[in-house]
DNA sequence: CGATTTTGACCAGCGC
DNA sequence: GCGCTGGTCAAAATCG
């Protein structure tokens, strides 16, 4: 356990660093109009954050680390650029040429800044993936007795798989395409055992890894890839303008019902697209996830007096991501946001957390379904593994039309459940809330429990559940990031008024129409 | 005037 | 086959 604590120590540090990376003042274009009446879960301007000075200091520290690690002398703040520009301007003659030169220089530095920021994110992503890998390996070494068991063989297999996938995962900057991969265009698999691995290991799988945003370098482009998923998007992108409505509809329909035929029950369990639902208390219209959405419909759902609003991502043409926002019927202070699909474009840092969370959760959900010979695994068991301290925090529904994982953030875990002194954690954030520091422990404990807990030890199902989770390092990371962002930065009931201080027309209009 | 929202209509899936 | 429901479309309305 001590070993694991040590790992958690650094785990916390890097998870939080990773979180913090998303707060770096990247020059995200301001044209990404934000719905300011949203419950701003992932805002990088959250007023609840403590003093900016501390953050700046933290950035400096992290910057130093990064410079050491990468050898890059990154310009991580726009302030640096603008300061330099100011100095240049102040010391230069008022000539137009000089000003143009300064502006050119400023533009150049800005673009370089953006590029380096992207690299920084990528490096951190890779670093974190490796870190998770190490944690898992050490976990593996810690439980040698389990190595002879069949279940552990499966986990070993997953580790092997993950080793191979590490390269791939590290290439996935923003588009965590595993769910996409696993739920689309997979070759038929007759064997139910190990089919998940087979699917991942197959050349087909490797051929169809979604290209990372950095490889394409075509922000906003529909992509020029061999990946059928991208091809589909490309087609969608290119033909949207002139294709008949029927075809468009069928594209989306086929997207929703991918052809996946590993086996009959497998087919039933996985051909439906995974959804990630987030429940949170908020008086605001909807939570802010950093993405840009356009409302395309509203419908009154059965059994709920509150209408459901349908949004699609408009950050890139042809982005297949949709989300539904609806108030809970029983508790109208709760907003339920359901995400579906994978972004086919790079996301701003503020959007990465939620996107990664939903993507990884969907991936976990689908890989979990695939790894169970009985189809979908016991959802409650998986939820308990995910969040043993708060079994109601994550629930998985296999009975819904689409497999859905629900992250219930309306009740934060009880800090008293975690006896660990806070000083044991290296928390670079100022005044972290207790739950903030505890979150990584939740997952660490969940993984540790997989072999220690008597309740789980004998359960092959739980081993499968754990394997599914460990096979997806992104999930825990992203989930931690998202939940800690929310718990750490937002007190919905208290902050809702703050978040609502600025309202624009569309929000109030939408709020009026929905609520 | 372009972008976005609204809203009624349409379509597919599902259960009976 | 029929009705119900969820999801989407697209013309009209609205806004900045």
For A172-216, write each residue's pLDDT tens digit: 333 333 333 333 333 333 333 333 333 333 333 333 333 333 333
Q: How many CB atoms lie within 10 A of CB A166?
A: 16
What was the pLDDT predicted at A146? Answer: 41
Helices (H), A143-263: 150-171, 178-182, 195-201, 203-207, 213-216, 228-239, 245-256
Does A494 contact strand C, using a CB cutoff of 7 Å?
no
Give the nearest nucleotide to A245, CA to C1'.
Answer: C9
Task: Verify if strand C has an atom below 7 Å from the CB of A249.
Answer: yes
Q: At what angle do helices A434-452 and A460-470 cross, to 10 degrees?
A: 130
Assess whether A314 (CB) lies less than 7 A from strand B.
yes
Report d(CA A206, CA A203) in Å as an integer: 5
A297 touches strand B (CB under 7 A): yes
Helix (H, G, I), strand (E, B) or coil at A415: helix
Which positions of strand C lie within 7 Å of protein CB atoms?
4-10, 15-16
Cβ of A509 near strand C (under 7 Å)? The reply is yes
CA distance A387 to A441: 10
pLDDT of A311: 92
Cα distances (angstroms) measured from residue A385 to each of A13, A445, A466: 23, 9, 7
- Measured CA A358 to C1' B11 distance, in angstroms: 28
Closest CA to A205 of A255, A254, A262: A262
Nucleotides of B under 7 A from a protein CB: 4-9, 11-14
pLDDT at A431: 36
Residue A99, CB, less than 7 Å from strand B? Answer: no
Give the burial class of A452: count Cβ atoms within 10 A of its Cβ; 0-12 exposed, 13-18 middle, 19 or more buried: middle
Burial class (CB in 10 A: 0-12, 13-18, 19+), A401: exposed
- Class of residue A194 by CB neighbours under 10 A (exposed 0-12, middle 13-18, buried 19+): middle
Please tell me which residue lies nearest to nucleotide B4, judged from CA to C1'.
Answer: A294
In 3D space, the residue among A177, A228, A475 whose CA is nearest the CA of residue A344 turns out to be A177
Q: Is-contact A447 A335, C-beta < 8 A?
A: no
Length of chain A in residues, anyone?
Answer: 515
Low-confidence ranges of chain A (pLDDT < 50): 1-37, 43-94, 144-272, 369-380, 382, 384-391, 413-471, 486-515
Contacts of A489 (CB under 8 A, 6+ apart): A41, A43, A46, A48, A49
Strand pairing category for A39-40 and A287-288: parallel
Residue appearing with tokens 């439980």: A143
Residue A208 · residue A230 · CB < 8 Å: no
Which segments of A214-355 are extended strands (E)?
275-281, 287-288, 293-300, 307-313, 322-327, 334-340
Rounded CA–C1' distance between A186 and C1, in angstroms? 36
Q: Between helices A2-21 and A473-489, what is the axis angle to 10°? A: 70
pLDDT of residue A309: 92
Helix (H, G, I), strand (E, B) or coil at A93: coil
State the Cα–Cα distance between residues A418 and A54, nearest whole angstrom. 26
Q: What CA–CA distance (Å, rounded) separates A511 from A504?
A: 11
């Amino acid at each position: 356990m001590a070993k694991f604590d040590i790992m958690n120590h650094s785990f916390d540090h890097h998870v939080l660093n990773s979180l913090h990376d998303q707060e770096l003042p990247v020059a995200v274009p301001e044209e990404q109009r934000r719905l300011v009446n949203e419950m701003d879960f992932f805002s990088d301007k959250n007023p609840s954050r403590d003093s900016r000075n501390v953050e700046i200091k933290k950035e400096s520290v992290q910057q130093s680390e990064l410079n050491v690690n990468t050898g890059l002398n990154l310009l991580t703040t726009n302030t640096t650029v603008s300061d330099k520009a100011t100095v240049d301007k102040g010391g230069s003659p008022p000539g137009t040429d000089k000003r143009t030169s300064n502006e050119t220089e400023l533009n150049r530095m800005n673009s370089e800044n953006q590029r380096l920021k992207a690299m920084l994110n990528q490096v951190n992503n890779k670093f974190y993936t490796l870190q998770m890998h190490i944690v898992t390996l050490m976990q593996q070494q810690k439980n040698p007795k389990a190595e002879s068991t069949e279940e552990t063989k499966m986990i070993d297999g997953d580790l092997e798989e993950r080793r191979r996938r590490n390269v791939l995962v590290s290439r996935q900057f923003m588009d965590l395409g595993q769910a996409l991969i696993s739920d689309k265009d997979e070759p038929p698999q007759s064997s139910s055992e190990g089919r998940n691995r087979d699917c991942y290991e197959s050349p087909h799988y490797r051929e169809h890894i979604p290209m990372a945003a950095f490889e394409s370098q075509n922000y906003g482009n529909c992509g020029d890839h061999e990946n059928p998923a991208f091809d589909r998007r490309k087609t969608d992108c290119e033909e949207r303008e002139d294709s008949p409505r029927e075809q468009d509809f069928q594209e989306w329909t086929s997207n929703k019902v991918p052809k996946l035929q590993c086996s009959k029950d497998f087919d039933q369990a996985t051909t439906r697209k995974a959804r990630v639902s987030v429940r949170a208390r908020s008086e605001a219209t909807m939570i802010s996830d950093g993405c840009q959405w356009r409302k395309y419909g509203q419908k009154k759902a059965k059994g709920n007096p509150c209408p459901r609003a349908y949004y699609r991502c408009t950050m890139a043409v042809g982005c297949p991501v949709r989300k539904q926002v609806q108030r809970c019927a029983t508790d109208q202070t709760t907003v339920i946001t359901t995400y579906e699909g994978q972004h086919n474009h790079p996301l701003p840092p503020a959007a990465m957390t939620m996107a990664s969370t939903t993507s990884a959760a969907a991936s976990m959900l689908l890989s979990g379904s695939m790894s169970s010979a009985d189809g979908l695994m016991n959802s409650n068991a998986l939820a308990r593994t995910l969040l043993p301290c708060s079994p109601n925090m994550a629930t998985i529904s296999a009975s819904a039309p689409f497999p859905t994982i629900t992250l219930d953030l309306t009740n934060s875990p009880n800090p008293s459940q975690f006896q660990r002194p806070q000083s044991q954690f290296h928390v670079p954030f100022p005044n972290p809330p207790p739950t903030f520091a505890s979150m990584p422990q939740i997952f660490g404990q969940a993984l540790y429990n997989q072999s220690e807990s008597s309740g789980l030890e004998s359960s092959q199902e739980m081993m499968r559940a754990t394997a599914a989770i460990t096979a997806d390092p992104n999930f825990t990371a992203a989930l931690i990031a998202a939940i800690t962002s929310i718990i750490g930065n937002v007190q919905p009931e208290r902050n809702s008024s703050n978040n609502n201080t600025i309202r624009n027309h569309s929000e109030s209009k939408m709020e009026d129409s929905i609520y």
